[in-house]
Structure 1
Amino acid sequence: MMMNLSSQLKELRNLKNRIVLITGASSGIGQAAAFEVARKGAIVVLVARNELKLNQVAQQCMLYSGRPAYAFPVDLGQVGAIDDTLTKINHEVGAVDVVINAAGFGDMESAVDTDPAVTDQMFRVNVLGLIYITRRLASAMIDKHYGAIINVASVAAKIPTPNSAVYTATKTAVVGYSDVLRQELRPFGIQVTTVNPGPVATNFFNVADQSGNYLAKVANFTVTPQLVAERLVDTIGYHVREITVPRYFSALSKVYHIWPDGGDFVIEQLFKDRGKHQQASAEDPS
C-alpha cells in the first residue's frame, strides 16, 4: 500500500494539467512560483488581495502554459472569505493537487513597538490563513491519497534577528505546524515541505527598510524570488522535509542552535545600529 501511495505522489513530478493553487501570487515568491509551474504546464490558481495584479499574473501564466489560469482575489486574514473562495475554486476549477502557501507580510519594528493590530493581522495572514487553507485542501488530498503542500516559512524561524520578533514568531509557527502536518499526512502519500528563504530581493525591503540599513547588512545574502521558486517547485512529488535558500543558511542555523550564545552575540553586533523601520505589508515573505 505504501508503495502505491509513493507511486501516486511521484506522478506529481509531471505538473502538466495538474491544478496548483498559490497564495500570495500577485508578487515575489508566489508570483515566481506561479510562472515556474505554468512553464511546466500546470493549471494555475492564483490567490491574493490585489485583483489587478492577479489578473496580470494569470495572463502571463496562460502564455507560459497554454492552459487556463484563474485569479481569485481574497483577504487571507478572513476565514469566511477563505472558505467561500475554496468552495468556489473546487466548483469552478476542480480538486487542487498542489498548494503553495507563499502569502505573508512582515513588520520591521522592535517587539515593544509593534502595534497590537499589526501583530493580530500578521498572525491572521501568515499563520491562521495558511492553516485554514491547508486544513481544507489536506482533507480532500487524504481522500485522493496524494497531493503536495508547500509552506513558505523563513530562515528567520531558524536564525532570528532584532526588530522582527512578531514576524519570526509567525514563521516559527509555520515550521512547527508543518512538522506535525508532515507526520500526520505522510501515511496518506501526501508531501509536506517547508521552504525557508533568506532575505529575498523583492519590494518587501522597499517598504520595510526605507533607510536601507538592514538591506545593506544582508546584501551579500539576498536571493531572487526566481531561485526560491525553482528550488521549491523542484521538490514537488518528493517527500522532502524542508529546503533552505540559499543552502548555506541551513549550516548556519545548525551552528546557531549548537552555540546560541555565540550566535546571539554575532547577530547583535551585526544589527546593533539598526534603527526602527516602517511596516512592510506584501504578499511576499522574506
Structure 2
Amino acid sequence: MSESDITDNSPESRAAIAALLDFYVEAGVDIVLDDAPVDRFRESAEARPSAAQIKRQAPSPASPTQPRLAATANASPGNAGFLATADDPVFTAQELARNADTLDALRVALAGFDGCALKKTAKNLVFADGTPQARVMFVGEAPGRDEDLQGKPFVGRSGRLLDLMLAAIGLDRTRNAYIANIVPWRPPGNRTPTPQEAATCHPFIRRQIELCDPDILVCLGGPSVQALLGVKEGILKTRGRWFDYNTGKRDIRALATLHPAYLLRQPSQKRLAWRDFKALRKALGA
C-alpha cells in the first residue's frame, strides 16, 4: 500500500486499510511501539562485541576469583548449557527467585525483574491462576493475547478447552488445580519463546514449583517439557510419559502432554490428550 492510498479517503481506500489492519491482528501484531520501524537485528549486530573486545574482556587464568555461577548451581535440566555471570540476567533471576520465600514475594520479584526483553512489549505480567495448594500444577509455554490483556494464564480459547479437560477428570482451577507458564510475558505475535528467554525466566518458574510443591506436575506442550524436564524429543514422542522432577524438596511425578492450543489446531489429537488426562486422574486417585 502506497502513501497516496493511506491519504486517500475513498471507501475503497478505507476498506483496504481495514483489511490490512485485520491481517496484522490475525498475525498477532496488535501493539504499535514507535512511529517508525526499528531494525532489531541490526541493533543486535552492532551491540555484539567484536572478537578483539571479547579477548580483552575475558578473565585471565590468574584471576580465578572472577564471579561466575554455573547453571548447574541451580541444578535443573531447563537451564543446562547456560553460564550465568554476576552481570547476567540469569544470575539476577536466580538471586531474586532464591530470596523469595512466598508466592506473593516471588510475584513482586518477577514484576520488578527487567532482565527479559519480553516485559517491554507485554501489557501485563501473567503469573498464575488457581489454587497454589492444589495437588496438581499445570505449566504451559507463554501467555497469548487474551492472557496478556487479563494478566491470567489460559483464559482464551485454549484456556476454555483446558477448563473442559480439567472438568472431565473432576478438576477445577478455582478449587484443585494451579496453572502457570514457563515465561510470564507474552512473546510478540504469540511466537515460541527463544531458548534464552526461557532460560532467563527459568529460575522463577522453578521457584514457583518449589513453593507450590505439588504432588504432580503436568507440562503442557513441547517448550514446557523441554524447559522443565530437559527432554529434547518432540512432544508427540514424549506425551503420555512420566518423568521425575525435583521440586527442591522432593521428587515428584511429571507428565508430558499436548498443549490445548495445539489441540485446537489438530482436533484429531484430542484422543491422545484424553489418554493422558485419564492417566493423570488415575495417578491422583492413587
TM-score, normalising length from structure 1?
0.30
Larger-gyration structure (1/2) = 2
Bigger helix fraction: 1
Higher relative contact order (CA 8 A, sep 6+): 1
